[in-house]
Structure 1
């Protein structure tokens, strides 16, 4: 017997040799536990919290919410494990089992991080396809369960079960309960997002001469299902496929799309003109097509990445030419140092600082003038800021969107979804071989794990999600919940006579400092975040009923 989890050892404590032998015959080969999706479960750490009695989820209509089912082994390997869910029923209403999916939580190895971490080694992140899996003796294996609630599901408590089978073992089941709230997450996104989906990485990893547009669309759809908008300007055939891709993104609820990337270049006036004029002409062609379809308000141009003061003068020259040539086209600027506002205030529409460079008074002054403010994370900032690195807590990936709401920011940018670096060179290729999660290594050899790498390459050219991306999507759905409550408050005010409920809802919309105060102070407790989300949901239900009663 290798190593029993503490739970199973407890069953044997106080027993003599004969009793221990008898009890070992009765101890199950595996138990079923549960963990919040904001928890990161390590397969080599003892499972101490005991078996789960049921799995519980709360969600709105048109929302995807999950929980982790944890297979806990004893003294023997458990082989050929599979998971199956039943239909969920609430009276005569059904959430079909086809809307319940599961993925095996995979692990990637981290080493020499550039920042302080609680541990090095194997970290949970990729969500692998549903398939038979083995669990070694003395280890645990989380399974990511996702329930996609239909947009027509009546509210109530839906009940079913999840069954786990393993070779040579009795099957085990847990009740699954899903509380469906009486409102739907909007299909139309209200948070603008700019996430780079790189076709060159698809091309390299899958050994393609060119990425078929149908493949790119499948990856786009995967992102849009997670309520994020790929920045289309990186598509190598955008001139050919513009209308097709933009229509697809907007039809699936996308709030915006990146039309082009504009970058200035130093040199003589003649050299700059030679560089700028083709850019302006190419963007103008796309601009005319977008404007003709009525899409211009949703379009933006991504300007010189993370600009510094050494480029302000030449950037202003290019941006001013773009604004003159294409009225109404939004220009978006990222930055992490200096202050570009004095130099570029008259030519930019969207300011996007890294969260560590965000200055509340500075950015709110720009918003008061009519500009938009987005922000982003990348290889920084480090702790105590939230980020999307693999070693950050799952709650941090989700709290980013609560911070976005709290500070009135209206867009979120991320530099890459699929920066896979040299993983395409591995032999054997992942997932049979090892995956290197480091996308950036500093001069001291410190590695940033998972930066720019929220998607993994699945079999047959299919995308695979990650623990981080699923938590980020949950955060976006939290953001949409807040948007719904704000909309309900506006309707309550219009109806009149609901001052107490309005005051309660407005207090909730401000977000309690105990949950999230600012960019560096927020709760570390997933249950505190869930309680806050449940309170928002209850207020939406109450407000909706009050508005309906007033009609």
Structure 2
């Protein structure tokens, strides 16, 4: 097929653009950026053809010492993109196809341009071990299946002679190991399951997720009352009679070794009590006296009852002894219960009191938003939601984390499909300004319906079956033995790179200089609910950071 009648429009655009197939592309061209020597840079090339083009070839050419990856921004359905009372800072509210998964093109099928539809190529540039600084051109070429030239776009990347410092932020996106076993149809903790766990942990660590939810027992998270999730329990429990127990940590040891091998630095041990109130025990399986394995605790267990108290009283000293024997004291974190409300103050207090003496010296972190929990001394390391953090900031709480989930959809940062990517990336600047210790989000790969009632196909169901706005429950999709990344995951990595660059700038100029520069020209100071909304401000501010680093480096 000749290309005489083919017209292929091309435009370089930033990583903060979202290209919808059914609307006109209004993004300005973006053809130049800078990056530090160890920083991953991303941009897109949007394309639209006047006719169907199948088997198209897209390639990258450059003399930069870097791995350049080209992926297709795929479209997935969203039936529920927003809540009814959403704010105005969204791209669209209608159900339909939204850009999100980053798909590797098939070698056999190539790339496709559909007539009249804008699509985009996601370009990722990962510098080598010791790249030479300088300005490098990157050409993205488009050809027909027969090798006929269709067009090209050129991007210039200034690689600076300095590196981002190590990430200080502790960052967890809850890792659901049961979802891996369910989707891939493998037995829990079989060799195939371990291989998947390692692959998904590798991608997490590569994107700045340096803490992993570690299932001592099946995490009691997003589970229907009276229901249960597939058993993913790293600790072996043997009940040996008269209320006595023996514990084994072989699988936990393997988990830690795997995580450390992939760059995971911190471990958050799964919650010791059920979600939303700490009123019951998590599901715990044990080998009992007759040699069979059965559930010994669960929804039927009173969290404050003598039986569970006796179990916790034996288990936690054994676990903390194992932690100390393996040199994990400084990287181990514990949970009581997720998202208790003020109505659960008494039950949370009871659970907290039960483990307080047993966990002396270990940080306990919990997502909770009522300041009363901290004020009463029930949690020393609170994680308030980003829209409830102000009282904690006002009282100078340290260390302080924050989190967001489906409930944080008004004004504050988040990463739903319907939201502009700038609303995802601004988080890095906010975490820097308020000098937060950690960030938590619950959905790295939650591929079940709400309350884990049924499994889903995340390529078809992106809202946990009409439960949460699309984009809340997972950041990665299942691929062939490895995760398929999303534009939201890549933009989140950019936010964390911004945070590290700001810390480097602070090392060189001081914190006051950085904060003044960030807010220069703004009507109001940056907060979690008040911040510049547009991508151009973010991109320009990051270039300001890099320019100042370059100036200091040359000074």
TM range (shorter): 0.7 to 0.9
Residue 522 of structure 1 deviates from its aligned partner by 1.7
The yes-or-no answer on 1:114 pairing with 2:63 is no
Q: Tell me if the contact between 1:355 and 1:519 (Cα under 8 Å) persists in the aligned partners.
A: yes
Counterparts of residues 171-320 of structure 1 (less than 5 Å): 171-186=150-165, 188-211=166-189, 212-234=193-215, 236-237=233-234, 239-250=249-260, 253-263=263-273, 264-265=278-279, 272-320=305-353
2:94 aligned with 1:125, yes or no?
no
Q: 1:217 to 1:277 in 2, by over 3 A?
A: farther
Residue of structure 1 in register with 2:112 after alignment? 134
Alpha-carbon separation, structure 2, partners of 1:270 and 1:430: 34
Shift of residue 326, structure 1, vs aligned partner: 3.0
Equivalent in the alignment of 2:408 = 381
Larger relative contact order (Cα-Cα within 8 Å, sequence gap ≥ 6) = 2
Distance 1:426 1:415 in 2: 18
| Partner residue, 2:463 | 438
The structure whose residues are more often helix, as a share, is 1
In structure 2, list runs of 5 or more residues that go unmatched: 216-231, 236-248, 281-299
TM-score by length of 2: 0.79
Q: Give 3-state SS (helix, strand or coil) of 1:390's partner.
A: coil
Cross-structure match for 1:69:
45
Greater alpha carbon shift after TM alignment, 260-269 vs 190-199: 260-269
Partner of 2:59: 84
Higher alpha-carbon deviation: 510-519 or 381-390: 510-519
Q: Distance in 2 between matches of 1:178 and 1:38?
A: 17
When residues 282 and 401 of structure 1 are mapped into structure 2, their CA distance, relative to the original with a 3 A threshold, is: farther
Deviation at 1:149, TM superposition (A): 1.8
1:477-532 Cα shifts (integer Å, max 9, x gaps): 10111111222246xxxxxxxxxxx8644633677746971122222221211111
Q: 1:365 maps to what in 2?
A: 395
Query: Displacement, 1:247?
Result: 4.5
CA shift for structure 1 position 56: 3.0
Conserved? CA contact 2:101–2:485, under 8 Å: yes
Cα distance, 1:42 vs. partner? 0.5
Structure 1 residue 407 displacement after superposition: 2.2
Cα distance 1:251–1:485, how it changes in 2: closer, same or farther (>3 A)? farther
Residue 259 (structure 1) shift = 2.6
Q: Report the CA distance shift for 1:25/1:108 in structure 2 as closer, same or farther (over 3 A).
A: closer
State which drifts further: 273-282 or 103-112: 273-282
8 Å CA contact 2:336, 2:351 repeated in 1: no
Query: C-alpha offsets along residues 447-469 of structure 1, whole Å, 9 cap, x if unaligned?
Result: 521212111111x2210111111
CA apart distance, 1:320: 3.3
More off after superposition, 59-68 vs 333-342: 333-342
The verdict on how the C-alpha distance between 1:331 and 1:504 changes in structure 2, with shifts beyond 3 A counting, is: closer
Deviation at 1:246, TM superposition (A): 3.2
Work out which of the residue numbers 494, 514, 524 in structure 1 matches 2:533: 524
Q: What secondary structure does 1:325 align onto?
A: coil
Structure-2 separation of matches of 1:468 and 1:284: 40
Secondary structure class of the residue paired with 1:340: helix
Residue of structure 2 equivalent to 1:413: 440
* CA deviation profile, 1:316-352 (whole Å, cap 9, x unmatched): 3332343312321000021135631233x2x523110
Task: Name the CA shift for 1:516/1:294 in 2 (closer, same or farther; >3 Å).
Answer: farther
Evaluate the alpha carbon distance shift between residue 56 and residue 456 of structure 1 in structure 2; reply closer, same or farther with a 3 A threshold.
Answer: same
Gaps of at least 5 residues in structure 1 are: 1-23, 491-501, 547-551
CA distance in 2, matches of 1:425, 1:413: 24
Quick one: distance in 2 between partners of 1:252 and 1:202?
Answer: 18
After TM superposition, the structure 1 stretch with the greater mean CA deviation from structure 2, 470-479 or 246-255, is: 246-255
**Does structure 2 conserve the Cα–Cα contact (< 8 Å) formed by 1:306 and 1:336?**
yes
Offset, 1:26: 5.4
Look up the match of 1:352. 383
Q: What SS is found at the alignment partner of 2:160?
A: strand
In 2, distance between residues paired with 1:246 and 1:515? 45
Residue 422 (structure 2) pairs with residue 395 (structure 1): yes
- CA distance, structure 2, for counterparts of residue 261 and residue 511 of structure 1: 43
Contact kept? 2:68, 2:123, Cα under 8 Å: yes
Q: Alignment RMSD, CA only?
A: 3.2
Distance 1:47 1:310, change over 3 A: closer
Determine if contact 2:414/2:424 at 8 Å carries over to the other structure.
Answer: yes
Aligned with 2:395: secondary structure?
helix
SS of residue paired to 2:188 = coil
**Contact 1:33-1:72 at 8 Å conserved across structures:** no
CA distance in 2, matches of 1:79, 1:144: 18
Deviation at 1:270, TM superposition (A): 9.3
Distance 2:210 2:174 in 1: 9
Question: Where do 1:45-60 residues align within 5 Å?
Answer: 45-47=23-25, 55-60=31-36
Following the alignment from structure 1 to structure 2, what is the Cα–Cα distance between the partners of residues 57 and 309? Answer: 47
1:538 deviation in Å? 2.2
For residues 143-177 of structure 1, give each alpha carbon's deviation from its aligned partner in whole angstroms, at most 9, with x where no partner exists.
11100123422321122422222235434332232
| Aligned CA distance change for structure 1 residues 254 and 544 (closer, same or farther; 3 Å) | farther
Tell me the secondary structure at the aligned position of residue 449 of structure 1.
coil
* 1:142/1:269 CA distance change after superposition, 3 Å: closer
Please report the TM-score for the alignment, with normalisation by the length of structure 1. Answer: 0.80
